Amino acid sequence: MAKIELWKDKEQGVLDPALFSRTAEELAKKIGNQGKEKKGKNKNSQVRRYFDEVVRLNTLAMTGDLPMAQVLPQVHMLIAKVVYAQGRDLVTTSFVEMMKSGITQIETREDLQVFTNFLESFMGYYKVYGPK
């Protein structure tokens, strides 16, 4: 399973200390290896597309350009987009699981910021472990 837990203790505002390091690296390695094994899946450009969309939505939420009530449905629509990419054989189940597990935890601006930071770490590792 490629699941993530954004918070160790959400009420106290405590993140999993390994979220941006060990967890991001392990998932980048797993998803990257699957992309290498299954030619044409999890390409860097495909994975980056979802990261860019999360960053865009996070920016809208943080700047207040859109209220979170309008950003949140767009964030959750990313699940449908990533599942669609899976249906087209562009990404693997593990990538979909990782995205779903993070997105379903997003309820607030802070949650979105943590998920964005996680994906930033993941993308850094993915550049090393992902398909070229």
- Tell me the CA distances in angstroms from 7 to 46, 78, 85, 110, 113, one per residue in order: 27, 21, 27, 11, 12
* Tokens 């290896």, residue located: 33
Q: In tens digits, what is the pLDDT along the chain, a chain of 132 residues?
A: 678 999 999 999 999 999 999 999 999 999 999 998 988 899 999 999 999 999 999 999 999 888 999 999 999 999 999 999 999 999 999 999 999 999 999 999 999 999 999 999 999 999 999 987
pTM of the model: 0.95
CB 122 within 8 A of CB 18: no
- Whole-angstrom distance, CA of residue 2 vs CA of residue 58: 22
